[in-house]
Amino acid sequence: MDALDQVRLAFEPESLVVLNVILGLIMFGVALDLRIDDFRRILREPRAVLIGLTGQLVLLPALTFALIVLLEPQPSVGLGMLIVASCPGGNVSNVITHLGGGNTGVSITMTAITTLAAIVMTPFNLALWGTRDPGIAALLTDVALDTGDMVMTIGLILGLPLALGMTVAAKRPKIAGYLRRPMRWLSLLFLGIFIAGALAKNWSHFVAHISALIGIVALHNACGFSLGNLLGRAGRLSRADRRALTIEVGIQNSGLGLVLIFTFFDGIGGAALIAAWWGVWHLIAGLTIAGSWALWSRRFGPPALAPKA
């Protein structure tokens, strides 16, 4: 076994509880922006959302497995790549889509649906693709991964706060209005502080192995952004919809990935470092892309929400 696979990051049980709470707050904040009508949108305007969901839930995990076959990383690194790719979109994607002039409605709908679907699709994709790589399959076997336990964990972290937030938004709209912006930014701030603290506590491992991981995360993330953009072009979507798909498929809920890695895989080093660095890198890359789009829009005008005839 490679030295990186033998690394176990310092992460106390109390820290896992804190991370779960932070993710719950993030999902609660996302849900404050949601209405039942957001889910009906897929019936009224299905094409962009369906194309995006196919990319997010089906093609990205498959593409990730192809990358693992091509790059042949250490098993724990491949495991981390698969876990991140199997997670739903991150809620910061909605903010980045808005900043970049994308269709925020498509972004919010995709985030909500992939979050709900993750309760089943994350363990499904991990089992489907992980068992096809001998090294990753050995790690799955070592921990005797129980799909039912993973479904319950994801349901509690994502599903329960989502339902609670949507209930508050529907029943107490004034309270939701007061909470919406503070919850969004404070929860992201807490997550950023948490990841920075975890990296600082394990800095020696990070420094020792980051050179081998930077390129993998950058390439993997670029494939996610490119997949979303190519699917939008292939589907002849409007530029605003293409931008939404690009960001949604490229921005993953890496915080959930960290929870799964520390809950089910004992914080195995390669996987944890991949998820932690992804959480930093996808923000840098996503904001850079959105910034370039914003500059383009200032010069040539904002993108249309519907394709030209």
Beta bridge partners of 89: 252
Check residue 259 and give its pLDDT: 81
Distance CA 93, CA 244 (A): 8
Query: What are the pLDDT digits (tens) for 83-127?
Result: 999 998 876 787 788 778 888 778 878 887 888 888 888 889 998
In the prediction, which pLDDT does 142 show? 63
- Can you tell me the mean pLDDT for 158-176? 81
Q: What is the DSSP string of 10-73?
A: ---HHHHHHHHHHHHHHHHHHHTT--HHHHHHHHHSHHHHHHHHHIIIIIHHHHHHHHHHHH--
Higher pLDDT, 284 or 309: 284
Average pLDDT, the chain: 80
- How confident is the model at residue 61, as a pLDDT? 96
Residue with tokens 């269709």: 103
Cα angle 287, 209, 69 (rounded to 5 degrees) comes to 80
27 or 65: which leads in pLDDT: 65
What is the per-residue pLDDT for 150?
A: 65
Q: For residue 172, report the phi and psi dihedrals to the nearest 5 degrees.
A: -130, 70
Contacts of 63 (CB under 8 A, 6+ apart): 85, 223, 227
Regarding predicted confidence, which is higher, 269 or 3? 269
Q: Note the pLDDT of residue 307.
A: 47
101/202: higher pLDDT: 101
Report whether pLDDT(132) > 70: yes
The amino acid that residue 108 corresponds to is: I
The pTM assigned to this predicted structure is: 0.78
Contact 236, 308 (CB under 8 A): no
More confident residue, 107 or 185: 107
Q: Tell me which range, 7-11, 54-58, 208-212, is most confidently predicted by mean pLDDT.
A: 54-58
User: Are the CB atoms for 64 and 274 separated by under 8 Å?
Assistant: no
* Mean pLDDT value of segment 274-296: 86
Query: Which range is most confident: 90-94, 228-232, 301-305?
Result: 228-232
- 87 in Cβ contact with 125 (< 8 Å): no
Report all structural domains of the chain as residue ranges with CATH numbers, in order of start. Answer: 3-300 (1.20.1530.20)
Alpha-carbon gap, residue 216 to 214, rounded angstroms: 6
* Mean local confidence (pLDDT), 259-273: 82
Whole-angstrom distance, CA of residue 243 vs CA of residue 232 = 8
Q: Is residue 246 over pLDDT 90?
A: yes
**pLDDT score for 14:** 62
